[in-house]
Amino acid sequence: MLKNEIANLIATGASVDRELARETFARLRAALSSGEVRAAEPDPSSPIGWRVNTWVKQGILLGFKFGDMVDASMDHGKLPFYDKDTLPLKKPGLAAGVRIVPGGSAIRDGAYLAPGVICMPPMYVNIGAWVGEGSMIDSHALVGSCAQVGARVHVSAAAQIGGVIEPVGALPVIIEDDVLIGGNTGIYEGAIIKARAVIAAGTVLTGSTPVYDLVRGEIIKPTADHPLVIPEGAVVVPGARAVTPGKGPVIDGWGLALATPVIVKYRDSRTDTRTELEAWIR
């Protein structure tokens, strides 16, 4: 079993058999690419609904450690690239049902893209990422290593879904089903966006960001046990919070404010009508 084989290789340390590590990683990469294995997966027994598969992230690190640098140039060397030979680009083929529009996109092998996924150029999906059926990764967007993106998600232009390989026990960024990620947003450090949420353009969320919920009158904060979790159906927009200490206040100060995400409403039929308009371009 891959899990046990990777654990044994990690435990061996510096004396690990290099060729065995490369062969084991190749099988892990194939399992990730097919969706058979995931870096993180739903777990109803977890308070946040997800668990990280630490052994998968350990296995991915083997591929980085034991790969050899090779010339990975394209177009007969006119576009020069150099990378580890263990990390080739993914070639899904027509049968996969993934639409990759011409224009400079790249997907590393070891990422899973379900049927119906649309990739608008140029965008990038890194190893260990998982993208569900019918989702769209728009122009200049990133889906980082091990990030989990659900079904029917729109990752809008220039949005950044951060990746997390190390520390291996850290949860990657999770985007659940039917989420809209607006343009120029940033989701980082293992933040979790629950189903049907809308993250407005320009919003930045990290695993340690407090979010002010105007609807429920509470502040959503990460704890020692879990990162930031945006509730299901929440509509999050960029906001500002006045700085009160020192020179912060307007009177006798600099009138400063800090950027902070704010939940202004929860998704309703009007929100759904607007977000469903994109179905016409699929």
Judge contact between 181 and 160, C-beta under 8 A.
no
Per-residue pLDDT, 271: 67
How far apart are alpha carbons 77 and 80 in whole angstroms? 6
pLDDT at 276: 57
CA quadruple 31, 128, 155, 209: dihedral sign: positive
- Residue-level pLDDT at 218: 97
Give dist(CA 107, CA 163) in Å, integer.
14
Contact, 132 vs 115, CB < 8 A? no
What's the token pair of residue 32?
Answer: 């990730």
Residue 225's pLDDT is what?
A: 81
What is the torsional sign of CA 42, 45, 48, 54? negative
Q: What strands lie across the sheet with 174-175, from one edge to the other? A: 112-113, 130-131, 148-149, 174-175, 192-193, 229-230
pLDDT, residue 270, reads 73
Q: For position 280, what pLDDT does the model report? A: 46
pLDDT at residue 78 in the model: 83
Superfamily of domain 2-68+96-232: Hexapeptide repeat proteins (2.160.10.10)
pLDDT averages per 10-residue partition of the chain, 282 residues = 95 93 98 97 95 96 96 85 96 96 96 98 98 98 98 98 87 96 96 97 93 97 90 96 84 86 91 57 50
When computed from its CA atoms, the radius of gyration of the chain, rounded to whole angstroms, is 20
> What distances in angstroms separate CA 234 from CA 48, 117, 132, 200, 281, one per listed residue?
16, 24, 20, 10, 25
pLDDT of residue 121: 97
CA dist 123 and 236 (Å) reads 24
Burial environment of residue 265 by CB neighbours within 10 A (0 to 12, 13 to 18, 19 or more): middle
State the SS3 of the chain: CHHHHHHHHHHHHHHCCHHHHHHHHHHHHHHHHHCCCCCEEECCCCCCCEEECHHHHHHHHHHHHHCCEEECCECCCCECCEEECCCCECCCCHHHCCEECCCCCEEEECEEECCCCEECCCCEECCCCEECCCCEECCCCEECCCCEECCCCEECCCCEECCCCCCCCCCCCEECCCCEECCCCEECCCCEECCCCEECCCCEECCCCCEEECCCCEEECCCCCCCCEECCCEEEEEEEEECCCCCCCCCCCCCCEEEEEEEEEECCHHHHHHHHHHHHHC
As a whole number of angstroms, the distance between CA 88 and CA 107 comes to 9
The reported pLDDT for the residue numbered 278 is: 54
* CB contact at 8 A, 159 and 184: yes
Please choose, from the candidates 211, 161, 155, 206, the residue with its C-alpha nearest in 3D space to the C-alpha of residue 183. 155
